[in-house]
Every structure is written in structure tokens, then in C-alpha cells.
Amino acid sequence: MPPLSPLSYQQVRLTGGFWAQRQKINTTVTIPAIYQQFIENEYFKCIHPDWKPGVSRPAHIFYDSDWGKWLEAAAYSLALNPDPDLEAKVEAMIAQLASLQQPDGYLNSHFILVEPEKRWTNLRDWHELYCAGHLIEAAVALFQATGSRSLMDVMIRYVDYIDSIFGREPGKKRGYCGHPEIELALVRLYHATGEPRYLKLSQYFIEERGQQPHYYDQEAWARGDDPKNYWAKTYQYCQAHAPIREQERAVGHAVRAMYLYSGATDIARETGDASLLKALETYFDSTLKQLYLTGGIGPAAHNEGFTADYDLPNESAYAETCAAIALFLWAHRMLNLTGEGKYADVMEQTIYNGILSGISLEGDTFYYENPLAVDRQKRTQQPRSQHRQKWYSCACCPPNVARLIGSMGGYLYAQTDQAIIIHHYAQGEASFTFHGKPVHLSVKTDYPWNGSIHIMLTPEQPAAFNLRLHVPGWCRKYSLQVNGQALATRAQDGYLAIERTWQPGDTLSLDLEMPVDRIYAHPQVCYDRGRVALRRGPVVYCLEGADNPDPVDWISLPRHARLEATYQPDLLGGVMILHGRGARILAPEASGLYTNEEPRYEPCEITAIPFFAWDNRAEGDMRVWINEI
């Protein structure tokens, strides 16, 4: 299959249901809340030409990226909900940042205001190109959303300067950023501008990474440092231990890995490079062996990243929100490059679970880490903050969630010359241009709470194409009607394909049966042995202290206990809950810690809520993997 072209979020309207509600909160609460945090955390003072020591904290090396992600989120919001006040704030922030730009085009608040002598001296650790990447993404998003060239022009000057510094040509530095991100941003800039130099620069960054002699060694020696003193101990941390095709498995810092692989997928797509795609498929399969049920990746705090296959502890899960987002972004690229449904499944697994858990239902507090269990009995060994926070000293996650939710429409649909594809189901409307003719499509569904999806097609005139509908991996039974007539068809590679000449007003009803699934982990995942998780459709559930007898881990679920799903419109913003009869272990009659009395249980009512909705009430235990008896 040829690569699929995703439909831009600007061609999609989310008109109700799950995602419209979240986009509304994103625009009305989250984006203003982050702006307020920029004020309170002195971003406006330190990303400012008048800054000097004493005025405020200095700009951190990654503050520009926080601005960039927020500007990108604001762009998506402005495109869908014009707002002169927000637009004025955006332009003021751009102007303030642009006023720092150096005559040669260089632009980084930290390395202009705080440590100017250190420009480009430590690409391994210091995020300059990473920050540039996020600002490039913001520039493209704003240009496409509002037509504003203010950041676009600034960033083109900066990128042209970067292009003059880095590359394999004589006299250039053979560097690349320790934190990938600019690679995928340059491909976006290439698409927005048509300038092939930007694609070439991205490709250079991807291909140069991990080559010998190693740039980070040479750069360290040039600083008078010994590369052996690298704090992270191995270049696996930043995926620079080997060239891109020779890395064998997904390793190191999870966000860096995902952004690198995303950029590399863009390059594989643009160049048709089969060896690169093959390597990326290997890394994706490796990621699947290190993937929490919630779509989280990177179990370890010490490297914010990967450890070993199957090493997925629950209480101490790092599972950074940004890493789940980055996996979503990479899976989207792999999906559109290959058309394989398994990538759409991973997108669902992340978005309905480990990404949304990173933001409160009210939209103004955030998690950086997303454990799969909180157990106050274990807290002494693994203390962690007990609620989402308004901000973090490393605040990458909040604006990352905002930009993702704001652009959610852009991940749902795609097309090729022959086909229109629905990857994900959300209530709303999509406007395609198919062989130059408009094709309008509307979706009605309560997904993810309900597997009934009603689609109406309104091509401007009858149009022959293959309509491809994703059947999620979790779905074992489904049925399809076209214009009220049952159509027997089976999904291949995760998609149903309906080939016909579509008439205005044609309808499809896809019914994905959505029972409560009991999920077991592979025995290699030793942390989940003897435990079961609950999933309904794409939504993973958890037991939370607010609904269940305390402590939560005293609850077991009998193997054949019946669980009822009921929609609760007034609970947690409207969620489907699962309810049933569990068993609560009884303390033994004997005193002391150890007894030969067999464990005894008493029946108890249990209620499971979606994992993403945990910690929106009082503090308490939480657990995805439940003891099974």
C-alpha cells in the first residue's frame, strides 16, 4: 500500500462527545493555565532582552521549548476557535522571543542571555537544537493556523543559520542534538515551505547520529572534558550509541527515542528508504515489549527511559506523559507509512490511557509520571507526589498534552489515491478533497464508551473509493451495515475495506462489540503475575480508593466474577464505570505477621473507573493490575 496522507486537523471538526469536551477544556482552561504558569514562573522575565542576573531566574536551557509547545497548542486552538486576545498574546510572545535573535540568526534565550560563550559546545546535553525544533513546529502550526509569518520568518532565519553550521560539508560541525526533535520539525518545515534543504538537514541529523569518530567524544574533549565522565554513562541514553539502522532495540531516554524514530520515519517516508523502515519496525516491535498496558513507556526514573524487555513495575513506573505522547506521534507516522492497524492500536492504547492520565479532568493540573499503582502501604519505599501538579520545574508535559489535544482531529483520518481511511472514531465531521472533489463525512458515536459508529458520506458527487475502517485490536466481534444492509467483511491488517461508488447520503453502521475484557500480562512481566486488568474497548480501568474499600490491594477479583458497565454522566465528567462483586482478603485471626491459616475473603462491591480519570478526587490508592483469585 502506498503511504497514507493524514487529513489535517483543520479539515476535521469534533462536534461532540469525548474529544470535543476535551478540546473545549483545552482551549478554555489548559492553554490559559499554562500561560499563567509562564507568568508565575518568570518565563516572561527571563526570555527577555533586558534579562540579567537578579531580574529573575535565568532562562533554563529548555524554556524555549516550553514556549514553542504552548505556541503550537495556541495555534491549533486559534485555527478552530479564533480568539483575538489569545492571538495578541501569541504575537507578543513571538515578538519578545524574536527580539533576542542574533544577527547571524541564532536564537536561544539561555545561550544568548545566560551563557553566550557556550553556544554549540555541548549538543549532547544542552537541548539547543531540541528547542529550535519545538519553535519550528510552532512556527509551522501558527502559519497554517492563522497565516502569521511572524515566527515562521524568525525560524527560517534560524534554520538557515543552523544549516550553515551543521552538516558533512567541509568546515561544518558534524553534530546533532542529544535530544532529538528538530529532525521531525525540519520535515514539517520542508512540507510548509517546499525548501528541500530542510529535508536534507533533517536527513543529515538522522544519518550522522552515532557515527564514528563520535561527535560527542570530540565535543567533550574540546570542552576539556573526558567523554568517560558522561553522567548518563552510555550514549544509548540519547540513542547515539550506533548509527540509526544499527541500534537493534529501543533504548535510553524514552522521549528522545520516540522523537528520533518519528523523525526517522518521516525521512524513510520521504526517501522510500527500505533499510531505514526495516530498522524502525524492529524498534517498534522492541517498544511493544517494553509497553505498559496503559501505553506508557520508559519504566525507570534514572534515565527517564527504557530498561529491559518486560521490565514494567507498577508502583515505580515512570511512564512519562511526554513519552506516551511521543509514542503516539511515532505510531501515527508508522501507521500512515505502512497502513498497518497495529500502529493505530498503539495510538489508541496511549491516548485513552497513559496520555490522558497526564492531565486532570478539569484541565489545569498535570502528571509527569504515570504509575499504574499507588499503594500507601508501599509509599515509604517509593514516595511520589500525591496529586497532579500545576507545574513542574521541567515542564515539558503540560504544553505537550495541550498541543496534542488541540490537534486531535489531525490523527483520525487519512487518504490515498484510492482510499479514504478512518483510523479512529470520534464524533464530528471531516472534509476530504478526493481527486479534486470534496467528500464530506460525518461520524456519530459515543466512542470510546460505546462501539456503535454511524458514518454518513456526502461526496459532492458520487465517488468511487475504498473506504477503510479501523477495527481495533481489542475488538473480537463486530458487524457492519451499509445503508442498512449487513455486509459480511473481515478486517485485514486491522481494517475493513468497502469498495464502492459512494452516493451522497450513504450510511455505514459499524458495531464493535465492547465487552469488559479481563487482561493478563505475559508471564515475563513478573510484576503482574497473579493479577488481572480490566479493559473495555480501548479504555483501561483501575480501582481507586475513592470508590473501593481501603486498601485497594486487599481486593481480589474472582476469576469468573461478572462485571457490569454503566455510564455515569455525573461522575468524573461522564465516564463508563465497571461494577461487580469482588473479594476482600480478611486479616487472619492469629496475631503476628505470619500464619498457617489459609487466606479468607469476604465479598465486597468493587467499582473500576477509567485509568485516565484517576486522581480527580480525594487522595487514595490506585491499581490497574488487580489480584485475581
Residues of the shown chain interacting with a second copy in the complex, contacts defined by CB under 8 A: 288-289, 291, 293, 299-300, 307-308, 310-313, 316, 375, 377-378, 380-381, 517-527, 529-530, 533, 551, 553-554, 556, 559, 585-588, 592-599, 627, 629
CB of 593 to a second copy, least distance (A): 5
What phi, psi does 205 have (nearest 5°)?
-60, -40
**34 versus 552: smaller Cβ distance to a second copy:** 552
**147 versus 523: smaller Cβ distance to a second copy:** 523
Nearest to 506 by CA among 485, 478, 488: 485
Q: Cell 462489540 belongs to which residue? A: 513
CB of 243 to a second copy, least distance (A): 25
Its sign, for the CA torsion 52, 57, 61, 66, is negative
**24 versus 518: smaller Cβ distance to a second copy:** 518
CB of 131 to a second copy, least distance (A): 32
State how far the Cα of 338 lies from the Cα of 4, in Å rounded to an integer. 8
CB of 240 to a second copy, least distance (A): 21
**69 versus 535: smaller Cβ distance to a second copy:** 535
Its sign, for the CA torsion 129, 249, 350, 612, is negative
CB of 381 to a second copy, least distance (A): 6
**33 versus 552: smaller Cβ distance to a second copy:** 552
Nearest to 354 by CA among 391, 401, 315: 401
Nearest to 343 by CA among 451, 472, 188, 453: 472
**45 versus 518: smaller Cβ distance to a second copy:** 518
**15: its cell numbers:** 462536534
**231 versus 594: smaller Cβ distance to a second copy:** 594
Determine how β-strand 463-470 pairs with β-strand 419-422.
parallel
Residue 304 annotated as catalytic = yes
One-letter amino acid identity for 173?
K
Classified as helix, coil or strand, 551 is: coil
Exposure on the CB side of residue 61, measured as CA atoms within 13 A = 16
CB of 476 to a second copy, least distance (A): 8
**229 versus 596: smaller Cβ distance to a second copy:** 596
**509: its cell numbers:** 453502521
Determine how β-strand 563-568 pairs with β-strand 575-585.
antiparallel
Q: Which helix (H) or strand (E) holds 264?
A: helix 254-271
Q: Are 177 and 219 in contact (CB under 8 A)?
A: no
- Dihedral (C-alpha) 422, 427, 428, 430: value to the nearest 10 degrees? 0
State how far the Cα of 210 lies from the Cα of 471, in Å rounded to an integer. 39
Distances in whole angstroms, Cα of residue 535 to Cα of each of 115, 287, 362, 539: 50, 21, 24, 6
Residue 396 annotated as catalytic = yes
One-letter amino acid identity for 336?
N
CB of 522 to a second copy, least distance (A): 5
The beta strand positions in 155-225, using DSSP E, are: none
Q: What residues contact 497, with CB distance under 8 A and at least 6 apart?
A: 419, 466, 467, 468, 489
CB of 73 to a second copy, least distance (A): 32
Write down the catalytic residue from 128, 183, 207, 304.
Answer: 304
Classified as helix, coil or strand, 343 is: helix
DSSP structural state of residue 10: G
**17 versus 545: smaller Cβ distance to a second copy:** 545
Write down the catalytic residue from 46, 131, 396, 475.
Answer: 396
CB of 297 to a second copy, least distance (A): 12
State how far the Cα of 318 lies from the Cα of 367, in Å rounded to an integer. 10
Cite the active site residues: 304, 396
